[in-house]
Each structure stands twice: as C-alpha cells, then as structure tokens.
Amino acid sequence: MNVSQVPLIDLSKASDPLIEFWKDEFRQIRRDFHRYPELGLDTPRTSQKIEDYLYSYGVDEIHTGIGGHGVVAVINGKTNSGKAVGIRADIDALPMIELSDHDHASCLEGKMHGCGHDGHAATLLAVAKYLAKTRNFNGKAVLIFQPGEEGYSGAKVMIDDGLFERFPVDEVYAYHNSSQLRAGQIALNYGSMQAAADAFTLTITGSGGHGSRPESTHDPIVASAYIITALQTIVSRNVSPLDSAVVSIGSIHSGNPLAQSVIPGSCQIVGTCRTFLPQTRDLVEKRLKEIAETVAISFGCTATLDYDRKYPPVINTPHLAQAMADIAANLVGEENVLRDYPRSTGGEDFAFMLEKIPGVYIRVGQGGAPAHNGFYDFNDEIIPLAATLLAKTLEKRLEELAK
Ligand SMILES: [Zn+2]
Ligand SMILES: [Zn+2]
C-alpha cells in the first residue's frame, strides 16, 4: 500500500520563502532530469546540465570530471572561518522500465529515475542557488553531485579521485527521499542508518572420487553441509544479542546432476553478510573464515574464503544527527521528526563519505509508490523542504564550527 503523498503539514510554510518562491523552477529541472535518466557512473548529460545551472547561479567554483562525471561546486560565505561543510546528492538512475505515463516519464527505454536521485540533484541545485544568492554563512559550502550510487560505489570513486583532498570538509550531509514516510516527515537516528553490504564466496576443496568408495575420498559436499550449519552460529553465538547481523547463503554448487556416483572435488558456497558496526563486520568475516577452515580440515578438506567488502555501514555522527534533527524540528515541528528511525539492512554508498568525515544521512518523507518500483516518482513538493533543511544545516553548522 502506498503512503499518502498528501503532506502532513503546509510544506510551503516549513520551507525558506526564497526557495519556496523558486519551487516551479526546480520542479521543471527535476522533471527534465527524470525524462533523461543516466545509469551508473555514466552521467554526461546530467552532469553537463548541473554545471550549466551552477554557472547561472554564480557559484564561486565549479569542478567537473571528478571520478568521471562527478561535479563539485564551491560557494564562499560572507565571512571565512576556514571551515567547510559538504552536502552530497546522488544523480544516477536505474536500469528499469517506467510504468507511469505522466508527461515527464522517461524518454529512454529501460532507464528510469526509480530512486529519486533526479530529485536529490534538483534539491542540491536549489541549495546552490540559495547559498550563492544569500551567502549568509561563515566558511565554505562544498556541494557534491555524485554519480554511481546504485551499485557502482560512486562515492568511493570520487573519494579515490581526491575529492576530500581537493575539497576538505569538516562535516558532510546527504538526504534520501522516503516513500515509507509521508511528505513532511523527516527521519533519522543517532547511529547506524544502513547496513554494510558484503558478499562472500567459500570454496571447499577435497579429493573427490567414486561414490561407491567414499572411504577413499575427502568429500567437499559433506564438509559444506556441516560448514553451512556451523555458519548459523555466527549470528546466534558470536554477534551480541544487542547487536544484529545477517549471514545468508544464496547459492551452493557442486558436482553434476547427471553424475550420481561421482564425489566431486570442490563445492562453492556464495552468500551475503549485513552488519551495522565496523567491529561486527570484522567479527563476521573472521568467524566465516575460522569456521569454514576448521570444519573443512576435520573432514580432510580445505576451505578458502573470498570476502568482498562492498558498501560500509552508514553511521551518523550522534551529536550532528541531533543538531540536524533539531533543525528539522524547527521546520516541520517535533511531532514530524522521527529521531529513532529503525535502521535498514539495505546499503548506501554515502557510507564511504561518512567513513572519512563526520556527518549525517537523513530521510525526508514523500509518500507514493516505493522506490525501485516501476510506478515510483519523486515528489516535487518536498524539494523546497529538503533544500531548506540542507541549507539551514550548513548555515547552522558553519556557525557552530566557527566558535
Ligand atoms: Zn536506489
Ligand atoms: Zn537512492
């Protein structure tokens, strides 16, 4: 069931009057992005448009080509404390088919802004226009337009290309729209928001042989069965009951279905791990390796673990999350700010930025169809509110950082 898109409150009153005044302009910008979705790290049109808009707003610096098509805008405040705050928007779309037939539906078959990154990009442009016009802050604004969130680690790609060396920031912020919240609701927590999402492959090797003479083999299938059972104890016996983790096996493969009397020489087990704390992530990887290796040895087999750390967990900096929640409450009222929002086992590459820089990942409700669904569409009504939240956070935090 879709959450109502009807706002809980008068969003125009919650937003900054200047940004609210530009609402139609940014609705049009968002819908243009929506018509021409681009995937992964390959966002030339979107990045060019962003550059053109930024130029028209009179920001101080525009830097393109960071990690491919990443764009950074720098805006200087009226005074310069030497401090800087970053705000990041993801800008990429998804390889999926849009099912709605609204006027701004995707013009490109098989590509769709199904996660609202068109809206995030438009929101950060609204922030850029507002900050360039008002300059009511002490220090520097660094606005980061990042491709490749949907599975391409675009944040890491920009960081590896020197993002934070070239544009050092003291804090960094990002928002994601949420269909699970009504328009006007804002949600976060003071710790982990999203899980680390990792993948692993275990290869169990034995000396296979004739199924009629098992005593002359070391059977990797039997060893794998015990390993899979023993792996269940990572979550039940190793991870604290007060923490949580997921170890799921998605594939097991060995042998040939036509070879019923052949004990194969190896077995491959593939799975995913989700954790919320760096130490739990380390623990889960360590126990996977220990259990697989030692159980394999007990059957005369060997195990090798290939553990791929994909996205780290998204962890908010507690005092900054509280500060941002207070700013949100000033805009929409305390009753519309969920300060203890449940964490999600999904992944998000803003985590790479929060690994390096203190900051906050926050959700702004929009109602409507769920993200990654063919009927999803970003709700333009929340652009002024989200832009106001980000801009006010930047102003307020730079004021605090200058003290
Ligand atoms: Zn998504
Ligand atoms: Zn997204």
92 is a catalytic site residue: yes
Query: What would the DSSP string read from start to end of 25-42?
Result: HHHHHHHHHHHS--BTT-
Contact assessment for residue 34 and residue 117, using Cβ atoms and an 8 Å cutoff? no
pLDDT confidence of residue 8: 75
pTM: 0.89
Dist. CA 148 → ligand 1 center (Å): 10
The candidate with the shortest Cα–Cα distance to 118, out of 136, 92, 137, is: 92
DSSP of 202-271: EEEE---EETT-GGGS--HHHHHHHHHHHHHHIIIIIS-TTS-EEEEEEEEE-S-TT-TTEE-SEEEEEE
Ligand whose nearest atom lies closest to the CA of 146? 2
Helix (H, G, I), strand (E, B) or coil at 144: strand
What's the CA gap between 170 and 360, in Å, rounded?
Answer: 12
Which residues place a Cβ less than 5 A from the ion ligand 1? 115
At 78, the amino acid letter reads: K
Burial class (CB in 10 A: 0-12, 13-18, 19+), 258: exposed
What is the residue whose two structure tokens read 């491919």?
Answer: 68
Q: How far is the CA of 403 from the centre of ligand 2 (A)?
A: 35
For the chain, helix, strand, coil in percent to 5 are 40, 25, 35
Distance (Å) from CA 347 to ligand 1 centroid: 9
Q: Retrieve residue 49's tokens.
A: 């448009």
The residue with tokens 């203890």 is 340
**Distance, C-alpha 34 to centroid of its chain:** 20
Low-confidence ranges of the chain (pLDDT < 70): 1
Kindly give the distance from the C-alpha atom of residue 115 to the centroid of ligand 1, in angstroms, as a whole number.
Answer: 4
HEC assignment per residue over 298-310:
HCCCEEEEEEEEE
Q: How far is the CA of 387 from the centre of ligand 1 (A)?
A: 20
Backbone angles phi, psi at 356, to 5 degrees: -100, -35
Domain boundaries, the chain: 11-194+313-401, 196-311
Identity of residue 238 = N
Would you state the CATH architecture of domain 196-311? 2-Layer Sandwich (3.30)
Counting ligands in written order, the one closest to the CA of 119 is: 2
Residue-level pLDDT at 6: 74
Q: Residue type for 43, please?
A: T
SS (H, E, C) 59-119: CCEEEEEECCCEEEEEEECCEEEEEEEEEEEECCEECCCCCCCCCCCCCCCCCECCCCHHH
Task: Identify whether 334 is a catalytic site residue.
Answer: no
Ligand 2 geometric centre to CA of 348 (Å): 8
What's the pLDDT score for residue 391? 98
Q: Are strands 138-146 and 79-90 parallel, antiparallel or unpaired?
A: parallel
C-alpha of residue 116 to centroid of ligand 2, in Å: 6
Q: How far is the CA of 179 from the centre of ligand 2 (A)?
A: 11
Catalytic residue among 149, 219, 349, 377: 149
Instruction: Note the pLDDT of residue 304.
Output: 98
Return the pLDDT at 1.
Answer: 52
Residues paired with residue 85 on neighbouring β-strands, in sequence order: 141, 171
**Span from the CA of 294 to the centroid of ligand 1 (angstroms):** 39
Which of 92, 118, 170, 171 is an active site residue?
Answer: 92
AA identity, residue 111: K
Ligand 2 centre distance from Cα of residue 250 (Å) = 24
Instruction: Measure the CA–CA gap between 328 and 332, rounded to whole angstroms.
Output: 6
Q: 375 alpha carbon to ligand 1 midpoint, in Å?
A: 14
Which CATH number, 3.40.50.300, 3.90.960.10, 3.30.70.270, 3.40.630.10, labels domain 11-194+313-401? 3.40.630.10
Residue 251 to residue 31: CA distance in whole angstroms: 40
* C-alpha triplet 349, 310, 267: angle, nearest 5°: 155
Is the torsion defined by CA of 120, 126, 131, 136 positive or negative? negative
Provide the pairing of β-strand 196-205 with 302-311: antiparallel
- Which ligand has the shortest distance to the CA of 371? 1
On whether the CB atoms of residues 153 and 128 are closer than 8 A, the answer is: no
For residue 328, how far is its CA from the centre of ligand 2 (angstroms)?
21
